[in-house]
Structure 1
């Protein structure tokens, strides 16, 4: 029996996303127009998720947050005369 090589297995990235939570069919199909309200809702959801991810990263890596805060303070001090 021949051994299966890792190249024979398709990559999970090669398959299109069909999960309804991650793929919005209505906005990507040809001929449909996204309204401003839908775009704003989608953008607000994205910004909420982004803020949540940043808060999680800040909790997980407190040293990184402290260093970033100190660097920002140093930049502000050198900017102001």
Structure 2
């Protein structure tokens, strides 16, 4: 790729841009999840219960 130096690492500008886009994506994803939880509280509660059950039965 043209964005990488001879060691295969990305230039700092490219890496910073990717981190910025990823942070923006994660913010929007979190916001969408919160909105869905507000719009469908019963489904959100059952999803939380399923997740809690998975965590209780998971073996470390």
In which range does the TM-score fall when normalised by the shorter chain?
0.5 to 0.7
Q: How many residues align?
A: 49
Query: CA-atom RMSD, angstroms?
Result: 2.0
Q: What residue ranges of structure 1 are gaps of 5+ in the alignment?
A: 1-30
Aligned-pair CA distance for 1:74: 2.4
Q: Out of 20, 43, 47, which is 1:64 matched to?
A: 43
- TM-score normalised by L of structure 2: 0.65
- TM-score normalised by L of structure 1: 0.51
Higher radius of gyration, 1 or 2: 1
1:51 aligned to 2:23?
Answer: no
Match of 2:7 in 1: none
Q: What residue ranges of structure 2 are gaps of 5+ in the alignment?
A: 4-12
Q: For 1:76 and 1:42, how far apart are their aligned partners in 2?
A: 30
Which structure is higher in helix share? 2
Tell me, what secondary structure is at the counterpart of 1:35?
A: helix
* Bigger RCO (CA 8 Å, 6+ sep): 2
Classify 1:35/1:62 alpha carbon distance in 2 versus 1 (closer, same or farther; 3 Å): same
